[in-house]
Structure 1
Amino acid sequence: MKLELKDTPGQLLGALKPISDIGGNIITIIHQRDQTTAENTLTVDIVLELPEKKLDALIDALRERGCGVIRVGKERLLQKQSLIMIGHLMHTDLTDTVDRIDQTGFAEVSELHMVMPAIDEPSTAKITIRAISPEDMLHAVRILREVAAQKDILILEPLGGAE
């Protein structure tokens, strides 16, 4: 959510209170006072978790307090995990590996960075998966493990990662 606030003391607190009152969970606030406009306003980016059914009430509450709501974005894939894959990734159809996760509807591969030392050598890739919930992330990682077992690909998971 991007808000426009008057550059006066207490405005940020006034914008955060309705979020708290309505049951929102604030994840991040980006508040750069050095970027004011000619109207003596500044923008604040707020990343928050909020049930979608409460969004209209929040926007109304913010506007009642004089906060301009410039933009509201929705991101449904809030969980993120990166893993390392080692093996003959290209020879085992990397597109198929990615598609098996992307086709779930609850998870997708958001990044893939690969190193290929030689055509007949194993490749290494960092794969980043995003999912809707922690449970969906566990399921997506299970799918990746199953695909890796079928294709003889080694998966390295971070300590304390999924399962």
Structure 2
Amino acid sequence: MRISLELELKDKPGQLVNALEPISRLGGNIVSVVHIREEIKGERVPVHVVFDIDNHGRLEKILKELEERDVLISKVGEEKKKEIISIMLIGHVVDTDLKDTLDRINELGAKVVDLDLEMPHPEKESSAKMNIEISEDIMKKKVFEVIEKIAEEKNLLVIKSLEA
């Protein structure tokens, strides 16, 4: 899971390392650190840290240790990881109600973020390449099940990207 922390550190040398050390030692993979010096609050400097960690137990240990080190934690949040999957539909994509296809994918909580449509002639088959954004919450398997069901109903061929 990806965690976003807003911390307030004492404005003196070594405090940033003091805050990052337990995150790293307890299994956090630090993704970004933003040290916001222009927004000093009293004697403290705001710092935004984003890291990946594999379970809530380790996160709780990190938070406890940060408090023991006199690091103020002003906000803790879990960011949802997103992934883009690509598929191609081949057949009478437009004639079989493209809007319905997009709506059914988006209803799952996924989001079609890009659509490339190739339509050589209104009478001929067309193809649509879709980039679909999914979060950790949405099972990739469920998205593919719905796409396969749509393809079967509408007599379309589905081609999945290699990483899917």
TM-score calculated relative to the size of structure 2: 0.66
- For the pair 1:28 / 2:11, whether they are aligned, the reply is no
When the two chains are superposed, the root-mean-square deviation of aligned CA atoms in Å is 3.4
- For the pair 1:161 / 2:149, whether they are aligned, the reply is no
For 1:35 and 1:122, the matched residues in 2 are separated by 51
Letter of the structure 1 residue corresponding to residue 133 of structure 2: T
The answer as to whether partners of 2:18 and 2:69 remain within 8 angstroms in 1 is: yes
SS at match of 1:74: strand
List alignment gaps of at least 5 residues for structure 1: 103-107
The answer as to whether partners of 2:102 and 2:112 remain within 8 angstroms in 1 is: no
Give aligned pairs, total.
148
For 1:117 and 1:13, the matched residues in 2 are separated by 53
Distance change >3 Å, CA 8–CA 147, structure 1 → 2: farther
Q: Equivalent residue for 2:73? A: 69
Determine which structure has the larger strand proportion and give its number.
Answer: 2
Distance change >3 Å, CA 38–CA 78, structure 1 → 2: closer
For 1:128 and 1:67, the matched residues in 2 are separated by 36
Q: Percent identity?
A: 23
List alignment gaps of at least 5 residues for structure 2: none
- For the pair 1:130 / 2:132, whether they are aligned, the reply is no
Mapping for residues 40-55 of structure 1, pairs under 5 Å = 40-55=44-59
Give the CA deviation at 1:29. Answer: 1.7
Distance change >3 Å, CA 6–CA 149, structure 1 → 2: same
| Structure 1 residue ranges (4+ consecutive) displaced by more than 4 angstroms after TM superposition | 114-118, 120-124, 152-158
Larger Rg: 2
